[in-house]
């Protein structure tokens, strides 16, 4: 018989881990997540929360990657499909999908739809890669012990990027 999954317990445990990690020296700690076929990292201090995907209300006239708005504890958040924004196609809906919420200090109610989270990663064990960043929100790139490539996200640069902020679809599309 399959073990039951307790969503509340999972969220509580993840929140406790993020809070505990934030209280430690986390300069090398990142949250790993998957977008399309790429592994990403984001600083714990830049992350407010990771949660299962709530209902999303589509917004007419928006770009395809802008999924719509979601009500998260009484506040509306703009939900963007990060994979689709990056040109890797729409994120298929499944139980592992998550919304990645940037820290409230950024001053925006934005949420990134991602394929799933990959847990906490310690980049002090990773090797920096000399690679030309394709986008300004890629702070740096790493290779882990097995040679897997990781991109470190600069949430501030993504949230301030004109292309990311322009969610309105061009007229005629």
pLDDT tens digits for 80-110?
999 999 999 999 999 999 999 999 999 999 9
Q: Does the pTM exceed 0.85? A: no
DSSP states of the chain: -PPPP-HHHHHHHHHHHHHHHHHS--TTEEEEEEETTEEEEEEGGGEEEEEE----B--TTB-TTEEEEEEETTEEEEEEEHHHHTTS-PPPP-TT-EEEEEPGGG---EEEEESEEEEEEEGGGSEEE----SSTTEEEEEE-TT--EEEEE-HHHHHT-HHHH--BPPTT-
Give the domain extent around 121. 29-165
pLDDT in tens, 150-169: 999 999 999 999 999 999 98
115: CATH: 2.40.50.180
Evaluate whether residue 8 is within a structural domain.
Answer: no
Provide the number of structural domains found in the chain: 1
Evaluate whether residue 171 is within a structural domain.
Answer: no
């Amino acid at each position: 018989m399959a073990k039951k999954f307790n969503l509340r317990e999972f969220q509580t445990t993840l929140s406790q881990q993020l809070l505990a990690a934030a209280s430690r020296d986390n300069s090398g700690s990142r949250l790993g997540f998957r977008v399309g076929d790429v592994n990403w990292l984001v600083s714990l201090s830049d992350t407010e929360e990771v949660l299962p995907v709530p209902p999303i209300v589509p917004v007419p006239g928006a770009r395809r990657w802008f999924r719509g708005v979601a009500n998260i504890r009484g506040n509306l958040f703009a939900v963007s499909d990060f994979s689709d924004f990056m040109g890797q196609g729409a994120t298929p809906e499944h139980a592992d999908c998550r919304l990645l919420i940037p820290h409230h200090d950024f001053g925006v109610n934005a949420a990134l739809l991602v394929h799933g989270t990959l847990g906490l990663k310690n980049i002090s064990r990773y090797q920096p890669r000399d690679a030309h960043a394709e986008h300004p929100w890629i702070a740096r790139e790493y290779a882990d012990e097995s040679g897997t490539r990781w991109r470190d996200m600069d949430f501030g640069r993504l949230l301030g990027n004109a292309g990311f902020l322009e969610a309105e679809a061009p007229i005629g599309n």
